[in-house]
A and B are shown apart, each in its own frame.
Chain A
């Protein structure tokens, strides 16, 4: 820790705003484990299902955050990877293959492969063109899904049972929640390793100045392609879980509207912040649920709420942390010795 390069613990530069604080990880873990247990104790199975959905969408948003927040690659086509993960599970299930040990890795593989191919072409473009090309590719998959009768067309494909895992039964809401928590937890750990590695640092730095990064010897295109592929793979895992949660897949999963929602979640939570995806997904889904309970016009109210949050925290909810810390530091340095001794320790 002491030798992390740079004054990473003194200043909030983009190289470390994306790294989570260890305490936050513990807090999140405790919250995610106790919540369903409490709900189960109260007999609220509905909220356990809701929790699973939040976790799954958090995983998808976190995956997008890797590309969009950390990498600066504004993909408007991430629903495609979610959908490919889901459809892989559903199509294999139709063929009688339901073992999670087989279908989950395949779902991740298929989504990664699609991301690799899409990235291969899209990453040659920049800015608005990149957004449009990722959107166009995702639409191709959408039309493929609605037009191929084998994929169930407009209706999608049902899953007769959830994927099978040796030794546990996923049709119980609580068991399924912990299954989702296990996999998304692993994905989050992987994500942590990614963003705190030298690779992750290069990804962020490329977002900051691509030209300079190339000029000091980074294979910019290859690094971005790798990040985009990993991001697609993680979204594919989320898709496989989502198919299991819903017990079906529909073309809506890979609709551009879905890609838009993922972007909203990331921006809401804090693009480029480690818990941005989780925060954004949780906030979005909870707001949607709460508002839909009270009014038919929930879309309007949800929109207004989102607008309010984005105005109050333009860089996402997680960025409020920096602002609060910033205030704290300023008052800390006013009380002279305290602030400076703190810096010494951090070095």
Chain B
């Protein structure tokens, strides 16, 4: 049995009367792509934000490598090895790609409080930025201002920012949102190549991509996980079909699969 990198127990998050998260149990295995799917407003982003530390759960525990991290602030969780990307592109648009990535590398070096050291030799940052840009295919854009890049390229950088943190667990919130067919295909290939070194939690609306990429899938509806399993298991799960996929979708997928 493979190693469990992340375990979520009885996690509850409310917004006023709305229960946005109510996750009794969720396990993510080391090295897998674990997809989270569900209708709009199901609580996928809310779950990721609690895993990353940006939102405080009202109850429950988040175990990363067996340790409860639910009290850690965001930056400590990044140091522990969890990084995320955003559904809505969140970059430093007036800076270049290189600068964006180098900032992520700098955070890892732990020198961000050396306020008297005027660092002249920054090859470490530059190398980190160049390597990450190469991994996500942004080498040609290294010295372009991020705000001038196409949406698809910005989505790649969004992923690159998470990668530059050298995380063990990556939380991807709809990385393919708004990209064209070719771009999302490339993004998928990229994700598969990352799988060797990273564990990925992938929130994605593109069902075809999810069935193609994910090792396991959890389906979220109204904050609850209604099913977890492989693509085959999910396609045949009656609860999932009624709540999310719908009869026709499931049939279609059956045929195309």
- Which residue of B has the minimal Cβ distance to A16? B99
Please tell me if the beta carbons of B117 and A11 are within 8 angstroms of each other in the complex. no
Residues on B with beta carbons closer than 8 Å to the beta carbon of A205: 92, 95, 103
Partner of B114, one of A190, A192, A199: A199
Interface segment out of the listed B75-83, B189-197, B204-212, B221-229: B75-83
Q: Which of B93, B116, B165 contacts A197 (CB 8 A)?
A: B116
From residue B201, how far is it (CB to closest CB) to chain A in Å?
15
Inter-chain contacts of B145 with A (CB < 8 A):
11, 13
**10 residue pairs, one from A and one from B, having the closest CB atoms:** A217-B78, A199-B115, A217-B107, A216-B104, A5-B122, A6-B99, A5-B125, A208-B92, A7-B143, A5-B102
Cβ–Cβ < 8 Å partners of A219 in chain B:
73, 75
Compute how far the CA of A197 lies from the CA of B74 in the bound complex, rounded to whole angstroms.
Answer: 23
Minimal beta-carbon separation of B117 from chain A (angstroms): 6
Cβ B79 vs Cβ A217 within 8 A: yes
Asked if B126 is at the interface of the complex by the 8 Å CB criterion, the answer is: yes
Q: Is the interface of A mostly helix, strand, loop or mixed?
A: helix
Interface flags, B104-129, vs A, CB<8A=1, else 0: 10111101111111111111011001
A223 interface contact, C-beta 8 A: yes
- With A7-B96, A13-B95, A223-B113 given, name 18 new contacts (CB 8 A): A4-B120, A5-B102, A6-B95, A6-B98, A6-B99, A11-B143, A11-B145, A13-B96, A15-B99, A197-B114, A197-B117, A197-B119, A198-B106, A198-B114, A201-B103, A212-B161, A215-B78, A216-B164
- Among B73, B94, B98, contact of A14 (Cβ-Cβ < 8 Å): B94
For the complex, is A99 an interface residue (Cβ under 8 Å from B)?
A: no
Whether, in the assembled complex, A21 has its beta carbon less than 8 Å from a beta carbon of chain B, the answer is no
Are the CB atoms of A199 and B112 closer together than 8 Å? yes
Q: Which residues in B have their C-beta under 8 angstroms from that of A4?
A: 120, 122
State whether A212 and B91 are in contact (beta carbons under 8 Å apart), knowing that A3-B122, A4-B120 are contacts in the complex: yes
Which A residues are closer than 8 A to B by beta carbons? 1, 3-7, 10-11, 13-15, 190, 192-194, 196-202, 205, 208-209, 211-220, 223, 226, 230
Q: Which residues of A contact B106 (CB under 8 A)?
A: 198, 201-202
B113 touches A226 (CB 8 A): yes
Confirm or deny: B54 has a beta carbon within 8 angstroms of a beta carbon on chain A: yes
Q: What is the minimal beta-carbon distance from B46 to any residue of chain A, in angstroms?
A: 16
Docked Cα-Cα span, A199 to B231, in Å, equals: 46
Contact assessment for B118 and A196 in the assembled complex, using a CB-CB cutoff below 8 Å: yes
Q: Closest CB-CB distance, B54 to chain A, in whole Å?
A: 7
**Are the C-beta atoms of A193 and B75 separated by less than 8 Å?**
no
**Bound-complex Cα distance A50 to B2 (A):** 75
Interface assignment of B52: CB less than 8 Å from any CB of chain A: yes
Q: Which of A4, A5, A208, A211 has the most CB of B within 10 A?
A: A5
Q: Is B90 an interface residue (CB 8 A)?
A: yes
Q: Are B74 and A214 within 8 A (Cβ)?
A: yes
How far is the CB of B19 from the nearest CB of chain A, in Å? 25
- Rounded to whole angstroms, the CA-CA distance of A74 and B235 in the bound complex is 53
Complex CA–CA separation, A219 to B75 (angstroms): 6
Interface centre among B83, B90, B103, B161 (most CB of A within 10 A): B103
- Which listed residue (A1, A194, A217) contacts B115, Cβ 8 A? A194
Among A205, A217, A218, the one with the most B-chain Cβ atoms within 10 Å of its Cβ is: A217
B155 contacts A by Cβ under 8 Å? no
Interface pair B95/A218, CB less than 8 Å apart: no
Once the chains are docked, how many angstroms separate the CA of A213 from the CA of B125? 16
A234 CB, nearest partner CB in chain B, Å: 13
Chain B residue at minimal CB-CB distance from A343: B143
Kindly list chain A residues whose C-beta atoms are within 8 Å of the C-beta of B13.
Answer: none
Chain B residues positioned under 8 Å from A208 (CB to CB): 92-95
Q: Do A1 and B120 have beta carbons less than 8 Å apart?
A: yes
A167 and B119 alpha carbons, distance in the complex (Å): 37
A216 touches B90 (CB 8 A): no
Docked CA distance A199–B118 (Å)? 9
Contacts of A216 in B (CB 8 A): 78, 83, 103-104, 107, 161, 164-165
B94 with A198: CB separation less than 8 A: no
CB of B112 within 8 A of CB of A202, answer yes
B112/A198 in contact, CB under 8 A: yes
Task: Give Cα distance in the complex from A219 to B106, angstroms.
Answer: 13
Residue B198 CB within 8 A of the other chain? no
Query: In whole angstroms, how far apart are the Cα atoms of A4 and B102 in the complex?
Result: 11
Tell me the smallest distance from the CB of A36 to a CB of chain B, in Å.
30
